[in-house]
Amino acid sequence: MMLERTVRVLVVDDNSLRRSVLSDVLAEIAQVEAVGTAGSGPIAVAKLESLKPDIITLDFEMPETDRLVLLNKLKETGSKTSVVMVSSLSREGAKVTMKALELGAFAFLTRPKLSDPREGKDSLLSQLKPIISAFIVSKLLAIRKEIAGQEISEPPTVAGTSVSHRQVSFPEANTPIPPAGDIQIVAIGISTGGPNALAQVIPLLPEHFRVPVVVVQHMPPEFTRVLAESLHSKSRLSVVEGADGMQLAPGTVFIAPGGKQMKIVRQGGIMRLRITDDPPENHCKPSADYLFRSIADLYGKKALGVIMTGMGSDGVAGLKMMKKMGACVLAQDETSCVVFGMPFEAMREGIVDVVCSLSGMAEEIVKRVN
Active site residues: 191, 218, 314
Which element (helix H / strand E) includes 319?
helix 316-324
DSSP states along 217-266? E---TTHHHHHHHHHHHH-SSEEEE--TTPBP-TTEEEEPPTTSEEEEEE
Cα dihedral 287, 100, 332, 260, rounded to 10, equals: 10
Strand 270-276 vs strand 161-162: parallel, antiparallel, or unpaired?
unpaired
Cα torsion 261, 290, 306, 344 to 10°: value is 110
Please answer whether residues 38 and 12 qualify as being in contact, where contact means their C-beta atoms are separated by less than 8 angstroms: yes
In eight-state DSSP terms, residue 203 is: G
Sign of CA dihedral 272, 276, 279, 284: positive
How many residues in total does the chain contain? 370
- Diameter over CA atoms, the chain: 65
Whole-angstrom CA distances from 89 to 53, 206, 216 are 27, 33, 18
The helix (run of H) or strand (run of E) holding residue 26 is helix 16-27
CA distances from 178 to 173, 209, 211, 239, 301 (A): 11, 16, 14, 26, 9
Distance CA 72, CA 233 (A): 24
Residue 80: closest CA among 135, 25, 117: 135
Give me the numbers of helices (H) and strands (E) for the chain, helices first please.
11, 16
DSSP string, 117-132: HHHHHHHHHHHHHHHH
